[in-house]
Structure 1
Amino acid sequence: MQKLDFAIIDAHIHQWDPYNTPHAAALAVKLLGKHPYLLDKVMRMVKPDDLIETLGLTNHVTSPYLPENYVQDLGHYQVEQVVHVEASWHKDKGKGVIGETRFIESLPFHAETVKLGGIVATADPRDSNFKKILQLHKKASSRFKGIRKMAAVHEDSKIHAWADEPHLYRNKKFLKGFEALAQYNLSFDAWVYSTQLSDMIALAKQFPETSIVLDHFGTPAGLFGQVGAQTGLTKIARENILIRWQEDIAELASCANVYTKMSGLLMPVLGHQFHKQNRLATKQEVYDLTLPLISHVLKNFGPYRVMFASNFPMDRVSTSLVNIIDAFSDAVLAYDPNALQQVFHHTAKQFYRL
């Protein structure tokens, strides 16, 4: 195991509190928060099956996840600063999204917990008030760095859709609004499933002056096992998912304005079954599963456009944060012994202007 002798930057965490903020599960949490078994049962009854399958378990989204919770997950690792990325704030229409930025600014990020370096908020470029919403985010926080608008919609209808149309990044209204990001010197976090990487490539080529980061390596759903109705069913199917992902990642990497986050690789939607086995993946299992992905991305993007990010608490359903940092740092070390500080610190600092 590589011992990191520097404080890292975590470029992608989520913070929420269903007890005290607008949240899809707020009512159920307030009624049943002291009865986790019943709360889980209710969530599984009222939420669609595809969402539950994507999350794996319900307790890590119905429980608050705040700075002190993140610090507990860190174990012995030191983090210089973190970037909060929007977490499906319930009031997601128009100017309602500003509430999440204000909420994040109100949290106890300080010397005893962890420093908040940046906020990636959400806004919809299709909104007629898009520019005004960007200005309001900036007014709400000096740490506002850019936006994320998720576009992840899979060809398999039983895999949860995180957008209201399958090719959001090609929508004409979206593209017109998107022009404002470069004008305001803001970055864009993109999240698609690997089947949509061609949409991401087209977006990056149309806006070469906008800094774009692909979240979670483009989430090749089903790569490690069956998800949805028909994704990742067989070994050959999984090999095809990998080959297509490899080719598209290589093409995306040719766009100099695109970076990517080494994150989200333990989400159940990739086909992991650890949560169904009532256990967490070991550090060695995390390493063995993710090494081919990390090596391919580093080969194509290079360490100067790859940044570490935990995606916590979303990946906590499959393994611990310590195991992820252990395994990912070993994978980077195996590729290039001199790339650790770049990937775990410098890239995020440069991209988000921290």
Structure 2
Amino acid sequence: MSEPILEPDLPIVDPHHHFWDRPAALIAALPPPTHGFDRVMRRVPRYLLDELLADMRSGHNVKATVYMECGSMYRSRGPAAMRPVGETEFVNGLAAMTASGLYGDVLACAGIVGHADCTLGGAVSDVLQAHVAAGGGRFRGIRQAASSDPDKGVLGPLARQEGGLYLSPKFREGFAELAPLGLSFDAWMLEPQLPDLIDLAKAFPDTQIVLDHVGTPLGIASYEGRREERFPVWKANIQALSDLPNLAVKVGGLAMVFPGFASFMSDPPASPEALAAEWKPYVETCIEAFGADRCMFESNFPVDIGSCDYDVLWNAFKVLAKGCSADEKTALFSGTASRIYRLDL
């Protein structure tokens, strides 16, 4: 990036990134990419602590991060329900490395969000407690994606389930185990599914829920050319979600393939100003509806590298926040994430 870093001293807590390592042999064995998500995975086969630290040091004042589950480093043995605990064990080890101070004044993975299958019902409590034990005081909650669409071309390789997960009685039986343990829930779903989250949040007012990626607006496959047409539907659901005090929203993920913006895989890559112009209606709607104290900018790296580098992404967010007050910027860039994920920074 040749442009200067905007507001380089502004503290940032990045509340959403992943780690993975896909060996070259595995990538080579994959079929040719047919979806934008496939193309990103091939572009970034490895993203571990070295890569994250390089991004954190790329110019912005990123002080800490929250790790978000992505099916990485599951245990290869033992009960299937417990295998996701391996991801927490793995990430906690990397978090401990940065907590040593050897890598500077940063805390990578100060909070960890893992995966557990709530359709186990009450039995998921054992999995949750195993995550807490493995997290070394850093485990904060789980994510169980509900993303689904009748058009399998929307999600491509991520089309793994049918709709209605968050409405399922068995899922809700397991979901009820979160609040007693003080754990939060991250929800990843697609824009047409947002009413399911409204229903879930109303049913569990004592559980902190975080909506990922502004609810993932769609503009590809059967939704191509329809993103603006569906914007009022998305906006109405966002406003309904904002009425529920146990909801917060991650403002980001718009650099993924799913919204179908022109910036995705563009050559040359889009500037921060161009990205901000594309994302502005969604970002401004979320901040207006939820308030800065329930919104947090997220990198979603390395997935969002499909549209921009890490430094460009945070510059784009700073362009979007230009008119915000100092207190609002603090909330958007670090305060909300620190509070929601209970970070001790």
Does the CA contact (< 8 Å) of 1:252 and 1:258 recur in 2?
yes
Distance 1:55 1:334 in 2: 36
Match of 1:349 in 2: 338
Q: 1:154 aligns with which of 149, 161, 173?
A: 149
Deviation at 1:90, TM superposition (A): 6.8
Displacement of 1:57 in angstroms is 2.9
Q: 1:58 to 1:15 in 2, by over 3 A?
A: closer
> How far has the Cα of 1:263 moved from its partner?
1.6
Q: State the Cα deviation string for residues 262-286 of structure 1 (Å, max 9, x = none).
A: 1211001110344554432211111
Deviation, 1:322, is 1.2
**Does 1:119 pair with 2:118?**
no
Match of 1:95 among 67, 71, 82: 82
Deviation, structure 1 residue 76: 0.9
Distance of aligned partners of 1:144 and 1:3 in 2 relative to their CA distance in 1, 3 Å threshold: same
Aligned match of 1:231 in 223, 229, 254? 223
Given that 2:166 and 2:200 are in contact with CA atoms closer than 8 Å, whether structure 1 keeps it comes out as: yes
* Cα drift, residue 312 of structure 1: 0.3
Aligned to 1:176: 173
Given the alignment, which residue of 190, 193, 200 partners 1:193?
190
Tell me, in whole angstroms, the C-alpha distance in 1 between the residues paired with 2:82 and 2:25: 23
5+ residue gaps in structure 1? 20-25, 30-38
Q: Is the 8 A contact 1:197 1:218 kept in 2?
A: yes
**Match of residue 8 from structure 1:** 12
In structure 2, the residue corresponding to 1:287 is in which secondary structure? Answer: helix
Tell me which of 237, 240, 251 is aligned to 1:251: 240
Query: Who is 2:130 aligned against?
Result: 136
Match of 1:43 in 2: 30
Could you say what secondary structure the match of 1:246 adopts? Answer: helix
Q: Residue by residue, what CA displacement relative to the aligned partner does 1:100-128 show, whole Å, maximum 9, x if unpaired?
A: 11111222434316412100000011115
Give the distance between the partners of 2:31 and 2:292, measured in 1 at CA. Answer: 41
How many Å separate the matches in 2 of 1:276 and 1:80? 29
> % of aligned pairs identical?
32
2:59 paired with 1:73? no
Per the alignment, do residues 219 and 333 of structure 1 end up closer, same or farther by CA in structure 2, a change over 3 Å counting?
same
Q: Are the aligned partners of 1:215 and 1:260 in contact in 2 as well (CA < 8 Å)?
A: yes
Q: Taking structure 1 as reference, are residues 162 and 122 closer, same or farther at Cα in structure 2, changes over 3 Å only?
A: farther
Moved more, 64-73 or 259-268: 64-73
Offset at residue 165 of structure 1 (A): 2.1
Distance 2:278 2:324 in 1: 15
Give the secondary structure class of the aligned counterpart of 1:11. Answer: strand
User: Which amino acid is the alignment partner of residue 71 of structure 1?
Assistant: L
Give the secondary-structure state (helix, strand or coil) at the position aligned to 1:248: helix
Helix, strand or coil: the match of 2:98?
A: coil
2:202 corresponds to 1:202: no
How far did residue 2 of structure 1 move? 4.3
1:7: Cα distance to partner?
2.3
- Secondary structure, in 3 states, of the residue corresponding to 1:288? helix
Indicate how the Cα distance of structure 1 residues 56 and 244 shifts in structure 2: closer, same or farther if over 3 A, else same.
farther
Whether 1:261 and 2:250 are equivalent positions in the alignment is yes
* Structure 1 residue 220 corresponds to structure 2 residue 212: no
Task: Name the structure 1 match of 2:269.
Answer: 280
- Please report the TM-score for the alignment, with normalisation by the length of structure 1: 0.86
Query: Structure 1, residues 203-256: CA drift from partner, whole Å, max 9, x if none?
Result: 00000000000000000011xxxx12x2123xxx23222111111111111111
Residues in 2 aligned to 1:211 and 1:279: alpha-carbon distance in whole angstroms: 40
Corresponding residue of 1:33? none
Q: Provide the C-alpha distance between the structure 2 equivalents of 1:166 and 1:101, rounded to a whole number of angstroms.
A: 27
1:82 aligns with 2:65: yes
Partners of 2:149 and 2:168 in 1: CA distance: 17
Number of aligned residue pairs: give it.
Answer: 324
- State the distance in 2 between where 1:279 and 1:44 align: 27
- Measure how far apart 1:60 and its partner are: 3.7
1:137-160 alpha-carbon deviations (Å, 9 max, x no partner): 011012000000001112422111
